Amino acid sequence: MARQPAAAWAASVEAKPDVSHATPSPLAAHRSKTLSGSVRVPGDKSISHRALMFGALSTGRTRITGLLEGEDILNTAKALQALGCPIEKSNGTWQVLGRGVGGLQQPGGPIDYGNAGTGVRLIMGIIAGHDMSVRLTGDASLSRRPMGRILKPLIRMGLDVEEGDKDPLPLTISGTTDLVPIEYTLPVASAQIKSAVLLAGLHAAGETSVIEPEATRDHTERMLAYFGAQISATKRQGLRAITIKGDAELAGRDVAVPGDPSSAAFIAAAALIVPGSEVLIENVLINPTRTGFYVTLREMGADIAFLNERNEGGEPVADVRIRHARLKGVRVPAARAPSMIDEYPVLACIAAYAKGETHMEGLAELKVKESDRLAATVAGLVANGVKAKAENDALIVEGGAGVTGGGTVATHLDHRIAMAFLTLGLGADRPVTVDDAGMIATSFPEFSSVMGSLGAPLAKPENVS
């Protein structure tokens, strides 16, 4: 496919500091007074990554509003620029001048993805369909995360990995213009594996299919269809099969990114924890593959309403109202994990305030996130006087006895661990401190200011100079 001229296009993304190597920034949360107000959270991270990538693979301009401007997304923008795709921000709108499927170029050096696990895994599927060799690197946290399960199907399609069986980053991968279409059954419920294979399938001759034993986030299917890909979902022996036709042509689109439900979860949790609170979170994504958190909260007795439901750019959106309520412990089935995998740390913090035991099952995936979130969550709860334990792939929290607080939580460079435990501190007897809040900028740069606007100021611990 012919590449489009890039003349007159700026191709710079504002550089941000690398929070993973910065001096630690401890932060503390104190017991809060009633929270109230209306807020918006940053754009959805999953959709933001995809909007930039699919725009780069399209012909013509893609205009994106509401893009999450966190570190992970900016790293995707910089990666695409390094691959020859012009991107600029003007008057609050991000514009991508697409290069077409197969139209990206050999970068001049390694591509550093920082802490962006979704970004680096999806870009592997894109690189697979290009005749180029790319060195991919990341920070210390990303370099510990598994890549082999993404690479396995891509290697079957024709991708070459210079390091052979080496799994984590850094890696050098080489793509080809002669990818082979495959049918692939996911070994685990992973939207990242599915998306990488489908993106590679755009470049392959013929049809590529991914079989899902359990439903995962469907943002890739929705957005690829919106950009013009020939993609379909059917049932095969009771399992969901997603098929994409290769040699594809995508056309640039306008994309309005809705609020990230995983970021909204911390605001919802704060309202549930602090007595008398009522908060409205505007413009939140309520895609059914992402609402397991709200389903669980309602089972626990939460007062949650979806208001002004609407459809924007192929995705369902609503304003979410949350009122404080007395909660009870519940059993969260393993089948629900794919629809709320990022919300378990903050759900565990909510469970500390619920009466009785909350038993969360099927959490193996938590062990391979930015940190071992299962172990980090248990350690943070115990450090603050909450009875919690992990049994195999389950997390069990005994709530209702009050949260004493007073502990310092090791975040392990994980933004969701940091935000979850700052939320826990809003109802604790004594302050809850996280050892480093700097990495929160990867997904929710405005977290502290949004909490403050609702009446829950966060501050540097008193014993830190």
- Pick from 192, 190, 351: nearest CA to 272: 351
Kindly give the interhelix angle for 45-56 and 117-127, rounded to the nearest 10 degrees. 20
Q: Which token pair is 39?
A: 């807020």
**How many alpha carbons lie under 13 Å from residue 209 in its C-beta half-sphere?**
13
The reply to whether 429 belongs to the active site is: no
Three-class DSSP category at 82: helix
Residue 302 CA to residue 295 CA, distance in Å, equals: 10
Catalytic residue among 342, 372, 414, 436: 342
Residue 114 CA to residue 48 CA, distance in Å, equals: 16
Residue 383 CA to residue 403 CA, distance in Å, equals: 10
Contact 353, 277 (CB under 8 A): no
Residue 167 CA to residue 165 CA, distance in Å, equals: 6
Contact 269, 259 (CB under 8 A): no
Q: Which token pair is 166?
A: 């080496």
Residue 357 CA to residue 300 CA, distance in Å, equals: 11
Q: What is the DSSP letter of 43?
A: B
Residue 39 CA to residue 320 CA, distance in Å, equals: 10
Strands 58-59 and 61-65: unpaired
From edge to edge, which strands make up the β-sheet containing 27-29? Answer: 408-409, 432-434, 27-29, 458-459
- Cα 390 from chain centre: 23
Strands 133-137 and 171-174: antiparallel
**Residue 392, C-beta contacts closer than 8 angstroms, at least 6 positions apart:** none
Residue 47 CA to residue 49 CA, distance in Å, equals: 6
Catalytic annotation, residues: 342
